[in-house]
């Protein structure tokens, strides 16, 4: 695959995407080395600093691991996902090189929030959608997401299937969260939520209430996350503020 120097996407990002695709396909298996930066530069007709930028990016995303004197290797598969950085949920799985499929359970629509006083949009209008994410056909995460109706006007016209909400917010609305908070508890599920996650009535799940603040509005995005901890360890890295 050739890189396109005429593309607005920087060459190092293009190369990083190629390497990431090869990791996900299994061409570069966990624990095996990738080509050296010298070989990558030769293969793709770029400078070694550009190749270094690409591998640096994947090291930061924890897809690659540098071993002094040995080279750069694909990280061994880990079932630990930093789900709770401000980067967003789908981005967290993607950074680990984990193929995740999201299914929209309830499409985006404008509603008046009538339940759950913890919700900052209680008794107010907000955009709402619900999605279920699967890894290898196993449901792992259910999200109910509420967005500020004024700040995110028009989001109900955007197809959110298999797309990172944090990236959409940044690329289409030019917004990044400046902070937030998250409340954690363990509970069990009933009704459709239990059915969607395919857990028993007595199975404990991690429940997270997540508030994201933006420069233009506090708590502009609120989400309730229901996480199957029998499939992944959901961790939190302090200070993870971007999906890049």
Distance CA(36)–CA(82), nearest Å, equals 28
CB atoms within 10 A of CB 238: 6
Domain presence at residue 2: no
- Same domain, yes or no: 99 and 219: yes
Q: Are 90 and 133 in contact (CB under 8 A)?
A: yes
Q: Which domain holds residue 51?
A: 11-74
- Same domain, yes or no: 143 and 29: no
- Same domain, yes or no: 94 and 133: yes
pLDDT, tens digit, 9 for 90 and up, residues 108-166: 999 999 988 999 999 999 999 999 988 878 898 999 999 999 999 999 999 888 788 88
Question: Is residue 192 helix, strand or coil?
Answer: helix
CATH of the domain at 57: 1.10.10.10
Q: Are 102 and 162 in contact (CB under 8 A)?
A: yes
Predicted TM-score of the model (pTM): 0.62
- Same domain, yes or no: 154 and 212: yes
- Same domain, yes or no: 38 and 90: no
Distance CA(75)–CA(66), nearest Å, equals 9
Q: Are 60 and 214 in contact (CB under 8 A)?
A: no
pLDDT surpasses 70 at 88: no
Domain presence at residue 161: yes
pLDDT confidence of residue 240: 43
Q: Are strands 64-67 and 80-82 parallel, antiparallel or unpaired?
A: unpaired
Last residue in a domain, options 74, 105, 121: 74
Q: Are 88 and 105 in contact (CB under 8 A)?
A: no
Number of domains composing the chain = 2
- Same domain, yes or no: 47 and 145: no
Domain presence at residue 242: no
């Amino acid at each position: 695959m050739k890189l396109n120097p005429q593309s607005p996407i920087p060459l190092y990002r293009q190369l990083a995407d190629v390497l990431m695709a090869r990791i996900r396909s299994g061409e570069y298996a966990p624990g095996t080395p990738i080509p050296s930066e010298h070989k990558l530069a030769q293969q793709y007709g770029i400078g070694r600093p550009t190749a270094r930028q690409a591998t640096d990016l994947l090291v930061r995303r924890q897809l690659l691991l540098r071993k002094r004197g040995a080279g750069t290797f694909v990280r061994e598969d880990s079932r630990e996902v930093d789900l709770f950085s401000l980067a967003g949920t789908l981005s967290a799985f993607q950074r680990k090189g984990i193929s995740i499929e999201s299914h929209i359970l309830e499409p985006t629509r404008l509603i008046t929030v009538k339940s759950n006083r913890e919700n900052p949009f209680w008794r107010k209008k907000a955009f709402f959608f619900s999605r279920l994410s699967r890894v290898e056909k196993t449901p792992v995460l259910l999200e109910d997401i509420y967005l500020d109706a004024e700040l995110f006007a028009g989001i109900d016209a955007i197809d959110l299937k298999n797309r990172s909400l944090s990236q959409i917010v940044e690329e289409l609305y030019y917004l990044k969260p400046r902070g937030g908070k998250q409340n954690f508890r363990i509970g069990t599920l009933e009704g459709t939520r239990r059915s969607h996650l395919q857990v028993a009535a007595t199975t404990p799940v991690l429940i997270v209430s997540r508030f994201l603040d933006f420069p233009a509005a506090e708590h502009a995005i609120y989400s309730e996350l229901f996480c199957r901890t029998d499939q992944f360890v959901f961790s939190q890295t302090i200070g993870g503020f971007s999906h890049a």
